[in-house]
Amino acid sequence: MATDSEDVFDYIIVGAGTSGCVLTERLSAAGHSVCTLEAGPRDTNPLIHIPAGYIKNIYSRTLTWNFQSEPGPGVNNRSFSLPQGRVLGGSSSINGLNYVRGQSVDYDNWAAAGNPGWSYQDVLPYFRRSERRLGNPDPKYRGTEGELPISDLDWHNPVSDALVAAAVAIGIPRNPDHNGATQEGVGFFQRTIHRGKRVSAARAFLSKAKRRPNVSIRTHAQCTSIVIENGVARGVRYIQGGPGGTSRTVRARREVLLTAGALNTPKLLQLSGLGPADVLRAAGIEVLRDIQGVGANLRDHYAVRMVSRIHGAPTINAKVQGPALAVQVARWLVGLPSPLAISPSLVHIFTRSDPSLDRPDLEFACAPASFREGVVGLLDKHPGLTLGVWQERPESLGHVRVKSSDVFQAPSIQPNYLTDERDQKALLGGMRIARKLFRAPPLARYVEAETSPKPELEGDDELLAFAREKGTTVYHMIGTARMGPRDRPDSVVDHELRFHGIENLRVCDASIMPSMPSANTNASTLMIAEKAADMILGRQASP
């Protein structure tokens, strides 16, 4: 393996995903030299930029980390593919494009857990900073001058409209802005789509930064360890070009910033000797700091998809198969509304699994489409409707642990889905609400048959068994470098995202979330990066 000389920058950013792209832009715009390392390629694949390309990209061998979970005790010992973006833009280049911030109390709870500065009022300016909300937004909650356009759905289907009417019919209020004053209700998802194309973090933020002379973006750069000298992070070692490639070291005058995501960030920390001592010793890694929280507190959304066969209206199934697909391609090419330019889920429902709860605990992500055997990307030949539902704030906890000192070996990932009874109870409530939606008069006129699960499955035990056997990940991993006070055993970083016990090292991605926000996680990760940039630069956001 060849070795190259060292370069020096003010900041080294490990991972050019959602948070890495934002930080590269903000720090370089302030005049600092920045080296951003990305293990994957540049975002030149055209399927990245076509929203419908999601169903192909999520299985890509070149654009994702092809992680696999360990068999789970709560899901009949099944394991799951856990794709994470491995390309400029990270998961923002392959995700489902929906923009959801979560409920204000989520962030108030972060602050109450010993993280001053993270209440909803503290973080709202950072949500607003990054977004360019299209339309006529409420300026109290929404931003209009940021780099990331947030658009409304422009392609409608009668079945989607009937689903919204069905939700209202069973008592769920209509909500025109789930990212505004309140989340609860039904409506259409807002998306990171503009003029028919995906707008990833790379397209929104990195495209500006990469033109600056003080920025170096290095792709196919697999980080192997953090350079730590006398308790101070001084740089990063990486291999350029995969196994057998050139070994390089890049050094930081100021800080090393980890933005590799909730699976790769704890992996890199553990490879660097920072993590649970027993895990490191078992992997043959010298223990530099015994920090139990590194790789712990893993959380993910676990969804069940409820499916019905539809009649009386065409759904996406009919629009994008056979000769009809050519029509939709032509519409997309000339800028007309098309199912090629929508997110995989169109209708959102945020509601309560139990009316006695004080706030919503369920998210529904719904689409006028259905998939054979539940496999995303393999559409049924007949019209269908899918209602996906999950517990918004899962309590089941998992972990990420390295297996060896080989950087190219995937870690052990155990999400422990459905091992907490609270998650089971909430999911059962969501499945029963889905049944009510299918049977509500505005939607029932289109429902020919409930196909999955079968209507005869009615009891709690039967429905929970179905959830264990057929449910799946929503790809929202968080929490493996938890933010919290130093005296809390599972904390990894403080409220300014500084690593406990190592100077000049911060974690600035979804790993730091103490608990799951009631949301798809991309918007929260953007906020974390914006706030991290201000803390690094010694600035404060305007209220």
For Cα atoms 134, 138, 118, give the angle at the middle one, nearest 5 degrees.
Answer: 100
- Tokens for 252? 């930081």
Q: Are 524 and 19 in contact (CB under 8 A)?
A: no
**Where does 215-361 show beta strands of DSSP type E?**
215-218, 221-229, 232-240, 246-258, 274-275, 289-290, 302-310, 347-351
Q: What are phi and psi of 126, to 5 degrees?
A: -80, -35
Catalytic annotation on 495? no
Neighbouring C-alpha atoms within 13 Å toward the C-beta of 173 = 8
Sign of CA dihedral 259, 263, 265, 268: negative
Q: Write the single-letter amino acid at 402.
A: V
For the record, the structure tokens of 342 come out as 């929508």
The gap between the terminal CA atoms of the chain, to the nearest Å, is: 52
Residue 442 burial class via C-beta count within 10 angstroms: exposed 0-12, middle 13-18, buried 19 and up: middle
Q: How many CB atoms lie within 10 A of CB 8?
A: 13
Q: Are strands 246-258 and 7-14 parallel, antiparallel or unpaired?
A: parallel
Extract the tokens encoding 276: 């649970």
Which amino acid is present at 232?
V
Rounded Cα distance, 414 and 395, in Å? 14
Peptide bond connecting 46 to the previous residue in cis, omega within 30 degrees of 0: no
DSSP string, 319-338: HSSTHHHHHHHHHHHTT---
The token pair that represents 8 in the structure block: 């020096």
Q: How many residues does the chain have?
A: 543
d(CA 297, CA 512): 10
Per-residue burial over 355-381, b if 16 or more Cβ lie within 10 Å, else e, is eeeebbbbbbbbbbbbbeeeebeebbe
Within a 10 A sphere around the Cβ of 354, how many other Cβ atoms?
10
* Catalytic hit among 32, 399, 476, 500: 476
Question: What is the per-residue burial (b if ≥16 Cβ within 10 Å, else e) of 232-246?
Answer: ebbbbbbbbeeeeee
- Could you list the active site residues? 476
